[in-house]
């Protein structure tokens, strides 16, 4: 039982440190944030910080890694299905994941570093969509398909970003349903083959 409590305590400490860094990044430049700033904001000791992270950069890197691993895990769950035909199950998983700590992700999307990270998410989604074999008769069809994939991946990321910034009303599930319908309609010419 003691190990479980220590494990929960470690998770809680990591989350407090991560949240503290994101809050600080909303207030000042990343390069000016110190470990002291983070431990003061998170109300943890320096020892606790160093038990989980080597430096300030390691905190933001870990946030990125965890989110990217989760997105890849979700995409891998659907690698034997055609996401272009029905992206809804994937989007529902993403919505439930993000819904576990909406306020954290709402803050995260506002930091300067978010643009770089969102580009990485988009690239992973594009690669996943392009991995599905489609019968294309001409180079023109292949180029059109590539444009559709890029357009929808960019739009998907932008819509979630806008939702977190409060520019789109409704729940995450509403957003997933809308995006799923839009993608299904947009990829219709490629589903006929």
Report the CATH number at residue 16: 1.10.10.60
Q: Do 110 and 160 have their domain in common?
A: yes
Between CA 146 and CA 160 the distance in angstroms is 21
CA dihedral 93, 95, 96, 98 (to 10 degrees): 120
pLDDT tens profile 21-51: 999 999 999 999 999 999 999 999 999 999 9
Average pLDDT in the chain:
88
Mean pLDDT computed over 113-124: 90
Is residue 180 within 8 A of residue 91, CB to CB? The reply is yes
Residue 85 has pLDDT above 70, yes or no: yes
Domain stops at, among 53, 75, 97: 53
Model confidence at 183, in pLDDT bands (50, 70, 90)? confident
Q: Are 82 and 132 in contact (CB under 8 A)?
A: yes
- For 12-31, what is the HEC assignment? HHHHHHHHHHHHHHHHCCHH
Quote the pTM value.
Answer: 0.81
| 193 confidence band (pLDDT: 50, 70, 90) | low
Do 7 and 23 share a domain, yes or no?
yes
- Report yes or no: 164 and 183 within 8 Å, Cβ to Cβ: no
| pLDDT at site 39 | 97
| pLDDT given for residue 191 in this prediction | 65
Number of Cβ within 10 Å of residue 74's Cβ equals 18
**Angle at Cα 164 formed by Cα 76 and Cα 149, nearest 5°?**
45
Q: Are 69 and 21 contained in the same domain?
A: no
Q: What percent of the chain has pLDDT over 70?
A: 92
What pLDDT does 14 receive? Answer: 94
For range 120-145, the mean pLDDT? 83
Among 14, 88, 7, 4, smallest CA distance to 48 is for 14
Q: Domain tally for the chain?
A: 2
Q: What angle do CA 27, 29, 33 make, to 5 degrees?
A: 85
Q: How far is CA 175 from CA 104, 168, 181, in A?
A: 19, 8, 10
Same structural domain for residues 122 and 146? yes
| 167 and 78 together in one domain | yes
Over residues 60-85, the mean pLDDT reads 86
Is the per-residue pLDDT at 1 higher than 60?
no
What pLDDT was estimated at residue 6? 63
Confidence of residue 69 (pLDDT cuts 50, 70, 90): very high
Q: Which domain holds residue 182?
A: 61-191
The closest alpha carbon to 87, from 74, 98, 97, belongs to: 74
Among 141, 134, 175, 171, smallest CA distance to 158 is for 175
Average pLDDT rounded to a whole number, residues 55-74: 93
**Ramachandran assignment for 43, one of left (phi > 0), alpha (psi -120 to 50 degrees), beta (any other):** left
Shared domain check, 179 and 98: yes
Residue 38 shares a structural domain with residue 73 = no
If asked whether residues 167 and 89 sit together in one domain, one would say: yes
Last residue of a domain, one of 35, 53, 71: 53
């Amino acid at each position: 039982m003691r190990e479980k409590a220590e494990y929960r305590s470690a998770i809680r400490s990591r989350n407090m440190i991560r949240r503290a860094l994101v809050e600080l990044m909303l207030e000042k430049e990343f390069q000016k944030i110190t470990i002291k700033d983070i431990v003061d904001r998170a109300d943890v000791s320096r020892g606790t910080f160093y038990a989980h992270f080597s430096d300030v950069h390691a905190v933001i890197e870990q946030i990125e890694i965890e989110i990217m691993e989760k997105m890849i895990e979700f995409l891998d769950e659907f690698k034997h299905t055609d996401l272009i035909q029905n992206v809804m199950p994937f989007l529902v998983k993403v919505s439930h994941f993000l819904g576990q700590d909406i306020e954290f992700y709402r803050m995260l999307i506002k930091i300067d570093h978010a643009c770089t990270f969102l580009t990485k998410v988009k690239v992973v989604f594009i690669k996943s969509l392009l991995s599905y074999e489609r019968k294309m008769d001409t180079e023109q069809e292949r180029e059109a398909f590539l444009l559709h994939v890029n357009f929808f991946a960019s739009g998907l990321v932008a819509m979630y970003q806008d939702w977190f910034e409060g520019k789109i009303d409704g729940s995450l599930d509403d957003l997933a349903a809308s995006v799923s319908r839009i993608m299904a309609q947009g990829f219709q010419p490629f589903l006929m083959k």
